[in-house]
A and B are shown apart, each in its own frame.
Chain A
């Protein structure tokens, strides 16, 4: 454990971004306590000790680099290209955090300029980003935006000097070993293959017809809720798979099916076995799951 007196220096840089990760971070309930553990040299919104122009001169380094947004080598911040900025600070930093899917894999802004933009270490699922070869040093916190608690976990681990284990895509296993499906309140409907009849209902599963990628997406959105209270599926919105390297996919509100069975089956499940199980599950007629849960509103 590092002494509490030691404060790692932190710089938060932005590539091609919507600032969604910055704003998501501000929702962290223990933000003031977390900020106490770092010396924030630069952040695009929070109080910090240096200006962007000073940071862009690349004179000093930092212990922790947080990068938000897709990497476009030619893009400039205060007259310095991202290539120079990332090259300098990533070289100096002991820890690099790619905050959000754009910084992790390219995300939305790789989709807008695929030939130019990428993530830091990855481009899509391939380790082809400018920081390739530093997989492990670069912690990918994918998600569009990053969940504040995931960022809190990674930064607090760094502040405490605790190593963060990551998966093949550089994502902390503690956060991404689960599927977004885990903890979903619609799991009983998923089990018995009862689809939501239509949007706007709390009853039914969104996986079969309505585009939900929960069983195909590594994320803990339903274990650690968004804004402390909810998640997409809890409000009837399908999971769009925003933590995966192929986000944003197309036709996001519908499930591609084959003979009314989803073409992609849950991660790790054999397709043949899944088809058999689906047939059996569907043969049950469970009255409780076919009724409205609450009709006395």
Chain B
């Protein structure tokens, strides 16, 4: 018997349809009801217009969409025989602002979603404080805006570099704001200084922490989340950045990853029209996101958690919150080493000369984001977007479930299943775009 649950506070909504035996979940299907037609509206426009339109796919990760677009246009340039040159300055500015967007995402998810939802499962002592998430996220986007002008919906990355031309004045302002954000993270979130947190190699080290992260860790164990929500224990990281390692992993064993193997199919939901698509690498489903990135990067703490508790909700949630720390450190390094004497932008040849296809891949907060375009004389003939949530939150048939479906089967009741669903950091608007 199918029971429907409406899931909200996920950047839009989703419907979950459950088969249950008693209360226990025996099967789940996922539908994303809303569709906006972002890809079609780009056709016939000049490729650079996509730099303004695609950030509007998503209010929480628009910067990742911007970067995927600019990378796709640059790939088309290269394919057409006009490789685009980027200075180190342009590259590090792009990476810095991308990292800051991920940081705001993770703070919001921790404070506005995961802590309150975990408390709803009956876990005590979490002391959720949603507005802490808004405060920390606003601080991160303030730093981002010093270079990108605004957040959400900046369009400061353009083929050949970035539009901004910061001086040491902005760099020093940014470093000051980042120090403040790190101090907040250390006091409120971590309960330990950043450098110490980054040396953690075992989950035991969370025991003495009197902090939100410490309470979350204990709460996840209290809720039994270290034994729940396993998916395939297969991971993919595709975006290439200073903070990622591109890889495909079976358990923790790395293999080569080749984006040409990525393909999509319509999602299956028998009870409702869903506009979502499933993504596979070759024939198989893979999990993407911070857990995948941590394992690909051989992170000692997350691998320790994975060794104990596999790809459970516990490991998945902890990996995302811990990634905030890694990204704060990365942002600090990028600012310290920011080389400002180089040009921000090296003009490429006229876009009208580009008739070619291009693919741009970025690690967004939730995993690899792929933009594919075909240009005819600089005008978009076709545009395709594959989002990270389509990897994790597919909906397929019982003999071949998508990662979130597999993770929900076996949950003791619908409340627990929906928490497992949220452990993937659901974004409805990205899933259907």
Query: Nearest Cβ in chain B — how far from A227, in angstroms?
Result: 4
Task: Give the distance in Å from the alpha carbon of A24 to the alpha carbon of B144 in the complex.
Answer: 13
**In contact, A252 and B52 (Cβ under 8 angstroms):** yes
- Contact partners of B161 in chain A: CB under 8 A: 199-200
| Residue of B45, B152, B158, B166 contacting most chain A CB atoms (<10 Å) | B152
A44 in contact with B152 (CB, 8 Å)? no
Whole-angstrom distance from the CB of B350 to the nearest CB of chain A? Answer: 11
Within the assembled complex, what's the spacing in Å between the Cα atoms of A255 and B179? 40
- Chain A window 105-125, contacts with chain B (Cβ cutoff 8 Å), 1 for yes, 0 for no: 000110111000000000000
A14-B12, A44-B9 in contact; A230/B165 too (CB < 8 A)? no
Could you tell me the distance in whole angstroms from the C-beta of A246 to the nearest C-beta in chain B? Answer: 14
Cβ distance B16 to chain A, nearest Cβ, rounded Å: 13
Identify which of residues 32-46 in chain A touch chain B, using a CB-to-CB cut-off of 8 Å.
32, 35, 44-46
Chain B residues with CB under 8 Å of A46's CB are 112, 130, 134
Which residues on the A side are within 8 Å of B90 (C-beta)? 200
Interface size of B by CB at 8 A reads 68
- Give the most central of A27, A75, A232: most B CB within 10 Å: A27
The answer for the CA separation of A249 and B341 in the assembled complex, in Å, is: 35
A227 touches B130 (CB 8 A): no
Prevailing SS type, chain A contact patch:
loop
Query: What chain A residues lie within 8 Å of B341 (beta carbons)?
Result: 297
Query: Is B52's CB under 8 angstroms from A248's CB?
Result: yes
Considering the chains assembled together, what is the distance between the CA atoms of A161 and B189 in angstroms? 38
Contact segment of A129-137, A235-243, A256-264 = A235-243
A18 with B138, Cβ < 8 A, contacts A78-B6, A227-B144 known = no
Q: Are B345 and A200 in contact (CB under 8 A)?
A: yes
Q: Name which residue of chain B comes closest to A239, CB basis.
A: B149
List CB contacts (< 8 Å) of A213-232 with chain B.
Answer: 221, 226-232
Instruction: Indicate with 1 or 0, residue by residue over A83-96, a CB within 8 angstroms of chain B CB atoms.
Output: 00000000000000
**Alpha-carbon separation in the docked complex, A202 to B153 (Å):** 21
B387 at the interface (CB under 8 A from A): no
Contact A16 B34 (CB under 8 A): yes
Interface-side segment among A47-55, A168-176, A269-277: A47-55
CA of A29 to CA of B167, assembled, Å: 26
Looking at the complex, which of B57-65, B260-268, B291-299, B310-318 is the stretch in contact with chain A? B57-65
Q: How large is the interface on A (under 10, 10 to 19, 20 to 34, 35 or more residues)?
A: 35 or more
Q: Mark B146-162, 1 if CB is under 8 A from A, else 0.
A: 11111111111010111
Pair B138/A227 contact, Cβ less than 8 Å: yes
Contact check, A145 vs B344: say whether CB atoms are below 8 A apart.
no
Interface centre among B38, B144, B160, B165 (most CB of A within 10 A): B165
Q: Using Cβ atoms and an 8 Å threshold, which residues of chain B touch A16?
A: 34, 36
Does A19 count as interface, using CB distance less than 8 angstroms? yes
Beta-carbon contacts under 8 Å, B16-51 to A: 33-34, 36-38, 40-41, 45-46, 48-49, 51
CA of A145 to CA of B167 in the docked complex: distance in angstroms? 27
- Asked if A153 is an interface residue, CB under 8 A from chain B, the answer is no
On whether the beta carbons of B165 and A227 are closer than 8 Å, the reply is: no
Chain A stretch 189-215: residues in CB contact (< 8 A) with chain B:
198-202
Pick from B62, B112, B164: contact of A45, CB below 8 A. B112
Given A108-B56, A236-B156, A248-B49: A230 touches B150 (CB 8 Å cut-off): yes
A76 in contact (CB, < 8 A): yes
Number of A-B contacts (CB under 8 A): 189
Is A17 in the interface zone, CB < 8 Å from B? yes
Per the bound structure, the CA–CA distance linking A111 and B45 in Å amounts to: 12
B59 touches A19 (CB 8 A): yes
Tell yes or no: B381 within 8 A of A by CB.
Answer: no
In the assembled complex, B366 has its CB within 8 A of some CB on chain A: no
**A251 close to B (CB within 8 Å):** yes
- The minimal Cβ–Cβ distance linking A69 to chain B, given in whole angstroms, is 9
Q: Is there contact, CB below 8 Å, between A52 and B53?
A: no
Contacting residues, chain B, for A20 (C-beta < 8 A): 56, 58-59, 62, 152-153
Cβ contact within 8 Å between A27 and B49: no
A21 on interface, CB distance cutoff 8 Å: yes
- Contact partner, A145, options B59, B137, B142, B340, Cβ 8 Å: B59
CB distance from A180 to the nearest CB of B (A): 12
CB distance from A231 to the nearest CB of B (A): 6
B11 in the interface (beta carbon within 8 A): yes
**In the complex, how many angstroms separate the beta carbon of B346 from the nearest chain A beta carbon?**
8
Within 8 Å by CB of A19, from B12, B45, B48, B340, lies B12
With A31-B131, A230-B146 already in contact, the answer to whether A52 and B13 are too (CB < 8 A) is yes
The complex places the Cα of A31 from the Cα of B51 at a distance, in Å, of 30
B21 to chain A, nearest CB (A): 25
Given A199-B347, A252-B51, output 12 extra A-B contacts at Cβ < 8 Å: A19-B11, A26-B137, A28-B138, A44-B9, A46-B130, A108-B53, A111-B41, A227-B142, A229-B142, A232-B156, A235-B165, A252-B52
A-B pairs, 8 with minimum CB distance: A200-B345, A200-B344, A19-B59, A20-B59, A226-B150, A236-B163, A227-B145, A235-B164
